[in-house]
């Protein structure tokens, strides 16, 4: 194989071997690549006459084999799931992931990023709770190691994996509308984060697409873990109360269930409920709660691959990957006015 470039590099080897750049790098470093992949990469390197740069090898030999994971709230079961999936991916690649809880606190997030630098992490996965903070943006810009942003919209050039919240929430609202619901409440928290903005966007888009006015049924609690009981109970006490709720996470799902019961109502006969994020609580509840969920293993795989590739080849162009937010219907959703059977349980 001949190339038009003056000098063959690892990209050419990966292309000839038919593997990703990250896989080629891992094969040459002997870290996390299968025997078959190593054989293909070594054969391609021999064909092209490529040898690893000794200076680059020396630099790689100083890698700490650790990565920092800054998540906004590890008390949230969904972020606990994210880290567990990331841990599986990074350990398989020969890296040790270290978890830091940002707690949606700016000073804590800035201090954590500074400690990651001091400890010589090879790279960082981050989902800051303060994505619009100039200080946070500047801290990310000046990081000396590669960083991959998870489900946030931060200025600057960086790799990212985002969840398609808008499409997922819109699909859930449209499904509820197809079952006759029109008064559908959306219960979130007040955070200035991408997930909140995109979920509201998808909610409004569903009503616009149906040619209906957006109802005043968006509730935003003070924090992710705050109770939304009072707000939801007040909605359910209104004339023309909502007949369906889409609620964020485990804590607000608990609030919704308690508020429904406190008003003498039943789920799903009187109020259908969809939770954003799948948990054991949602699955095991009776009736089982319909959810908007992501494939955590897929998200973690994408995050880990982007970061390891970036560690191996800092000059790669920035990449942005998208993960689907998928609606999974269970027993908590029924057609409006249907008190007999759920619309269909899908485990």
Mean pLDDT in runs of 10 for the chain (347 residues)? 61 89 75 78 86 52 85 85 94 93 93 92 94 92 94 92 98 98 95 92 98 95 82 94 94 94 97 96 96 96 95 92 97 83 46
Task: Give residue 344's pLDDT.
Answer: 47
Helix, strand, coil percentages in the chain from 3-state DSSP, rounded to 5: 45, 15, 40
The three-point CA angle 215-258-279 to 5° equals: 90
Strands 123-126 and 66-71: parallel
Nearest of 23, 11, 10 to residue 304 by alpha carbon: 23
Per-residue tokens: 305: 């691959």
Per the CB < 8 A criterion, the answer to whether 146 and 307 are in contact is yes
Give 149's strand partners.
126, 160
> No. of H helices and E strands in the chain?
13, 12
CA–CA distances in Å: residue 225 to residues 73, 78, 142, 196, 209: 9, 12, 32, 14, 32
Q: CA gyration radius for the chain? A: 24
CA pair distance 131, 260, nearest whole angstrom: 34
Task: Give residue 241's pLDDT.
Answer: 95
Nearest of 205, 208, 227, 231 to residue 218 by alpha carbon: 231
Task: Give residue 9's pLDDT.
Answer: 80
CA pair distance 293, 301, nearest whole angstrom: 16
Task: Give residue 181's pLDDT.
Answer: 98
CA pair distance 126, 113, nearest whole angstrom: 9
Q: What is the largest CA-CA distance in the chain?
A: 77
Residues 225-259: tens digit of each pLDDT: 778 999 999 999 999 899 999 999 888 999 999 99
- Any idea what DSSP says for residue 288? P
pTM of the model: 0.80
Nearest of 185, 222, 237, 229 to residue 207 by alpha carbon: 185
CA pair distance 325, 166, nearest whole angstrom: 8
Task: Give residue 22's pLDDT.
Answer: 77
Per-residue tokens: 208: 């616009």
CA pair distance 273, 253, nearest whole angstrom: 9
User: Quick one: which H or E segment has residue 177?
Assistant: helix 165-178
């Amino acid at each position: 194989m001949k190339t038009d470039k003056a000098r063959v590099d690892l990209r050419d080897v990966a292309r000839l071997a038919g593997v990703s750049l990250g896989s080629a790098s891992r094969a040459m470093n002997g870290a996390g690549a299968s025997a078959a992949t190593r054989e293909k990469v070594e054969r391609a390197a021999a064909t092209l006459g490529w040898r690893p740069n000794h200076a680059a090898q020396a630099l790689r030999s100083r890698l700490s084999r650790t990565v920092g994971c800054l998540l906004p709230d590890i008390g949230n079961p969904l972020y606990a799931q994210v880290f567990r999936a990331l841990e599986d991916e990074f350990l398989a690649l020969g890296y040790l992931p270290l978890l830091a809880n940002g707690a949606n606190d700016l000073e804590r997030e800035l201090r954590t990023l500074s400690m990651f630098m001091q400890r010589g992490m090879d790279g960082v996965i981050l989902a800051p709770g303060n994505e619009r903070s100039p200080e946070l943006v500047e801290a990310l810009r000046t990081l000396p190691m590669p960083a991959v942003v998870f489900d946030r919209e931060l200025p600057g050039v960086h790799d990212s994996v985002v969840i398609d919240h808008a499409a997922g929430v819109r699909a859930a609202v449209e499904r509820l509308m197809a079952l006759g619901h029109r008064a559908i409440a959306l219960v979130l928290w007040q955070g200035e984060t991408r997930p909140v903005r995109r979920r509201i966007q998808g909610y409004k888009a569903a009503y616009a697409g149906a040619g209906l006015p957006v109802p005043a049924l968006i509730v935003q609690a003070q924090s992710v873990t705050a109770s939304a009981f009072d707000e939801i109970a007040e909605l359910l006490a209104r004339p023309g109360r909502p007949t369906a709720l889409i609620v964020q996470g485990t804590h607000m799902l608990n609030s919704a269930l308690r508020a429904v019961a406190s008003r003498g109502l039943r789920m799903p006969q009187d109020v259908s409920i969809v939770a954003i994020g799948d948990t054991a609580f949602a699955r095991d509840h009776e009736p089982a709660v319909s959810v908007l969920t992501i494939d955590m293993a897929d998200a973690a795989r994408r995050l880990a691959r982007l970061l390891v590739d970036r560690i191996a080849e800092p000059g790669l162009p920035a990449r942005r990957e998208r993960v689907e937010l998928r609606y999974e219907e269970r027993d908590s959703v029924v057609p409006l006015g249907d008190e007999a059977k759920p619309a269909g349980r899908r485990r």
